[in-house]
Every structure is written in C-alpha cells, then in structure tokens.
Amino acid sequence: MTQFDYSKRAIVFLDILGFREIVYKSLSDDKEKNNLFQVLRYIEEQRKEQDNYEFIYVDGEERYRINLDISERRVTTFSDSIVISYPDDDDGRMSLLWEVVLIQCYLGKKGYLTRGGITHGDLYHKDNIVVGPAMIEAYELESKVANYPRVILSVDYFEKVKNVQDVQLFNLLKQDRDGFHFTNFACLYNEKEMKDLKSYATKEINSTKNKAGIYAKLSWLVDYLNDISNNMGL
C-alpha cells in the first residue's frame, strides 16, 4: 500500500453558486448551454500543468505586468467545485490569491457567482486526491461561514498576506462587516464590466424576492458592487 505525507500548502475550496439551476436551464436555453460549456472548458484549463502565468493588470493609465509561478500548483475539479493549492510560502500564498481573483473575475463576467474559503496548513494534494486538515477548514469556511458570493480568508492566512505589496497596491482584499476578509475580484473590472455585472445582479435580485436565501446573496453582491463602483467614481 502506497503511503502519503502531508506538506504545508495554501488551499482554496471554490463552489459555483446555483450550479444545479444552471444545468437544468441549459437543457432548453442554448445561450446558457454555450455559457456553461465555456465555463467548464475554462475550469478544465486550470488543471493543465504550467510553469508560469502572466497577465497585465490595468489601473487607469497604469499598467502592471503580473507574473505568477504556478509550477507547484495543484488543481482538482469535481462537479461545481474547484480545489487549488500551492506551497505554503509567500509566493505560493500570493499566487493563490491572484488566481482566485482571476477565476472569480472570469466567472462573474459569465454571470456565475462563486463562494469559497482560503486557508493553509497540512495537506496532501496530488492528482484527484485532496485530504488533510487544511482541506477540511477550507471546505468549512466555504460551506458554513462565507454565506454570500465571496471567497473568505482564514484569520491566520490574512495575517500572512496583509502586508504584501500586491495586496495593498492592487486592493486585492476587503474586510466585510463580520470581520472576515475576502478577495476583491471586482478590482479587475473595467467600467463596462462593472456595469454589466451590476445590471445582471439587479435584474436577478428583482426576480428572487420570494427566495430568501438567494435574495440575501444577491443583495450582498449588489452592496459590494455599489461600494466598489463608488470607490472607482462610477
């Protein structure tokens, strides 16, 4: 029998909200079916092994080249969930934060909302096997604490990254009213993308007033987007 050893890793457990309804809607809605296919392809792409990932972050007239070392990244996907982990060091923790923000940003443009938990600790993550105390904590943060379409950080994880230059320069994190910090994915949106997501959220919230759970999640999203829009002067 092959044994395994835990190692220290940073981990996120991500869940796509409303996935069941999306699947059923795709049966009769070709646009939704195409959207779902693109999202599933995007998620599958995350599993490909690469050494580096580079993108341009635009802030007004400023442009920043961001290069992530993803050579030690591990990704497992199942149904509507994504688990990603990196070595639990400064570079790994920041690469994980950036990747979560990028995933949320992409899915948000498709009208797909995510909820999740980020933490670090003992973990075994190889191929499709993910096990360890860190996995349990990340899952419980997502399923029992996050509540809204946000990806929250454990208190200890936040303490590890709060003074990193990227976090402060790009406003990657925000603190919510319950004290938890969450990834500020809307910081990557331009004016049009922000307006599109706000329009989508407002439309959805008006059709879910009789569904308390969904209404609360969308209300949180609208409040968050309004706050970001005000900060951007939109």
**For residue range 54-104, what is the model confidence (pLDDT) as tens digits?**
655 555 555 566 777 777 889 888 878 899 999 999 999 999 999 899 889
Report residue 203 as tokens. 């439309």
Residues 6+ apart with CB under 8 A from 11: 83, 84, 85, 96, 118, 119, 120, 121, 123, 125, 134, 135, 138
pTM to 2 decimal places: 0.89
Residues 6+ apart with CB under 8 A from 50: 70, 71
177 and 199 share one domain: no
224 and 174 share one domain: no
Report residue 96 as tokens. 């994980």
CA trace torsion 213, 33, 100, 226 (10° rounding): -50
| Residue-wise pLDDT tens digits, 7-21 | 999 999 999 988 888
Number of domains in the chain: 2
Would 227 be classed as within a structural domain? yes
